[in-house]
Amino acid sequence: MSNPKARPPVLASSHDVELAGLAQGGDRAAYGELVRRHGAAIRGLLLRLGADPTLADDVAQEGFLTAFEQIGDFRGESAFLAWIKRIVARLYIKRLRRETRGGLLDLTARPDGETSAIAQDVLGGADLDQALRGLTRSERLCVGLCYGAGFSHAEVADALNAPLSAVKSEVKRGLDKLRSGLAWGGV
Amino acid sequence: MADPEFEGRLGRLFAEAPPLGDSEAFARRVSSRLDRAWTLRRLLIGGLGVAGGLIGVGQVAASGVVGRAAILSTQSVKIFSIAMANHLPAHLFFDYMPVGSDFLWAAGAFLVVGLVLVVMRAIGEL
């Protein structure tokens, strides 16, 4: 029986696909190494999608547990990180739906462009995270799902149960803001 | 208008993990939740196994099959012994064994117990 607390050097130097293969055989220590490697990326994605740090931590944990349950479906055709990002993004959307009492996300609502200041503190002042502050919640979500989680516009529309045209508009507006926020061309 | 260069840069920026300082603590929290779920599952499987076993034992006891098996076993031993005595010269069989027929029965019983232990271990590993 493997001890998840132990971290043999061989695990630390193993490729993600090898670790996933071990995890498919029930090796929780190997899976723990994957969590250690990609935990920050997953929580970072959730923070960039607009989650506050507590929610990001919770959804990220749930995502890793769900991914372990579904690890048999991972065939190494894509990177492990890309695979789990999609799982986590869907969990986050499900959580947002629950918060809105099962209703659809209102992509046309444009609250005030606020993003979580706490999340921003956690993320620090990196260019991207700074620029994301200028986006509305829905713009941030759509852009994050497309460029952070690898969703297509159609997949975002499907996941959010929103019209494809609305998603494309949100992404376009978000990209325009990011382009100026990231000082593209000037940096 | 699509701007592949900008979108490519954006994709790379999103791919960079932010420097969060508590990666080890986060991994421990996930491992802890994983262990809890694992333990719960094993307890559930074990509990269902025990319940199923008890029901099975109850059914077997109620059907009186043990008594019938004992009678059949006794009869089988007699038939087997007679058959052996009639068809095989004594020196071809038990004379070459270090012990008598009791040993064979005991070995058979140990084999069954061993198989049960192997099956239990295999279930435990699942």
Other beta carbons less than 10 A from residue B91's beta carbon? 8
Domain count, chain B: 2
Domain count, chain A: 1
What CATH number does residue A44 fall under? 1.10.1740.10
For A:75-114, CB contacts with B below 8 A are: none
Residues of B in contact with A126 (CB under 8 A): 16, 18
Asked if residue A28 has pLDDT above 80, the reply is yes
Mean pLDDT, chain B, integer: 81
Q: What is the pLDDT of residue A7?
A: 59
Query: Which has more pLDDT, A113 or A64?
Result: A64
Residues of A in contact with B14 (CB under 8 A): 45, 48, 128, 144, 147-148
Mean pLDDT, chain A, integer: 83
- Say if residue B59 is in the same domain as residue B83: yes
Query: How far apart are alpha carbons A2 and A45 in whole angstroms?
Result: 30
Segment A9-38 shows an average pLDDT of 90
Q: Given pLDDT bands bounded at 50, 70 and 90, which one contains residue A184?
A: low
Q: Could you list the residue range(s) of the whole structural domain that residue B104 is in?
A: 98-126
Closest CA to A136 of A113, A117, A120: A113
Chain mean position to CA A178: 18
Say if A177 falls within a structural domain: yes
Say if A186 falls within a structural domain: no
CB contact under 8 A, A39 and B11: no
B48 φ/ψ angles, rounded to the nearest 5 degrees: -65, -35
Q: What is the pLDDT of residue B94?
A: 57
Segment B42-51 shows an average pLDDT of 89
A18 φ/ψ angles, rounded to the nearest 5 degrees: -65, -45
Closest CA to A124 of B90, B63, B64, B20: B20
Say if B25 falls within a structural domain: no
What the block records as the tokens of A37 is 């490697």
Strongest mean pLDDT among A55-59, A95-99, B72-76: A55-59
Say if A75 falls within a structural domain: yes
Buried b (16+ CB within 10 A) or exposed e, A57-81: bbbbbbbbbbbbeebeebeeeeebb
Closest CA to B30 of A88, A96, A124: A88
Chains A, B: CB contacts within 8 A come to 91
Say if B57 falls within a structural domain: yes
Query: Which has more pLDDT, B75 or B93?
Result: B75
Chain mean position to CA A29: 23
Say if B37 falls within a structural domain: no
